[in-house]
Amino acid sequence: MTDAAAEFAPRPKLLTPVVLQELSRRSDLCGARRALGHYGAILGNGVLIWLVASTHGVGWALPLMLLQGVLVAFLFMAMHETAHKTAFASPALNIVVGYVSGFLIAWPYEYYCLFHWEHHRHTQDPARDPELIVGPRPRTETQLAIAYTGLLQLIGRLRLLVRHAVTGTVTFSWVPARRRATVVREARLYLAGYALALFASLMLHSALLLWVWVLPLMLGQLVLRPYLYAEHTGCDHTRSAFENTRTTFTTRLVHWLAWNMPYHAEHHAYPAVPFHALPKLHAIVDGEIKYRGEGYVAVTRQTWAWFRAHFDGTKP
């Protein structure tokens, strides 16, 4: 195993080194099928939005924009898998799909790789897990409701992007000094890309990107954020991936959309295992998992209640 988190995962007897090595095999074919399916759905639905909006008006296209929002926002999962370099066997394909996905969801890929590596190293550690450090915990009902929209997180990423690009400085501990120039350069490239897209839209007098990308990305946070809160909220502050991470049992459609990441305890225990092998891994380690969610509606109720119970900040 190459990830430090794996050392804290107990090895069930059926998960032998040979089996784990087989499960950890990357596949360009599996990665291409999932990526092309995901991006193909975005492209196809985007065409439908354009056709309906241009023929009947934007209002009639709103349901399609909601669907587009979920598809676009969940490109986070494509970026996540490529950050682990497990989406494809080819390193170049991981980087290309990671960069494109990160650009479309305003998550700089190189920065996210460092952020996420630290998250795996220190999962649920309040002092060192970036997911717990970045952004304050909700303290009121209003703050909680806003947090679940995901808009604050999206705005925070954009502000971070601008700060890195404009100031040329990166201060986070999870970004080593040797990588800070890369993070700054990446932020500037992203902003240049956004500026170019805006310029092209203005020159063409077209709001197409607004309807098929920008507005859907904002709407999609309403689904993505509760999904992400389900991964660790309310789980133990221990170093065991089977105790600090939740696996949520859900539909095949959600598994497809989320690149099998509902098997999240399995992923944290053995992060070198690619998305397409997680169902097989789950069948082996299922009995080790402490936090098991029965669908995202039920888990969202649980995570919402957990945040409410911790408004005063006295509980970890």
Query: How do the domains of the chain map onto residue ranges?
Result: 27-309
Contact indicator for 315, 139 with CB cutoff of 8 Å: no
Its pTM stands at 0.93
pLDDT at residue number 5: 47
**pLDDT tens for residues 123-153?**
999 999 999 999 778 999 999 999 999 999 9
Quick one: which H or E segment has residue 246? strand 246-249
pLDDT at residue number 183: 98
Coil, helix or strand for 262? Answer: coil
**pLDDT tens for residues 199-249?**
999 999 999 999 999 999 999 999 999 999 999 999 999 999 999 999 999
pLDDT at residue number 137: 86
pLDDT at residue number 190: 98
| Closest-CA residue to 281 (of 22, 30, 7) | 22
C-alpha to C-alpha distance for 281 and 168, rounded to whole angstroms: 42
**pLDDT beneath 70, residues of the chain:** 1-13, 313-316
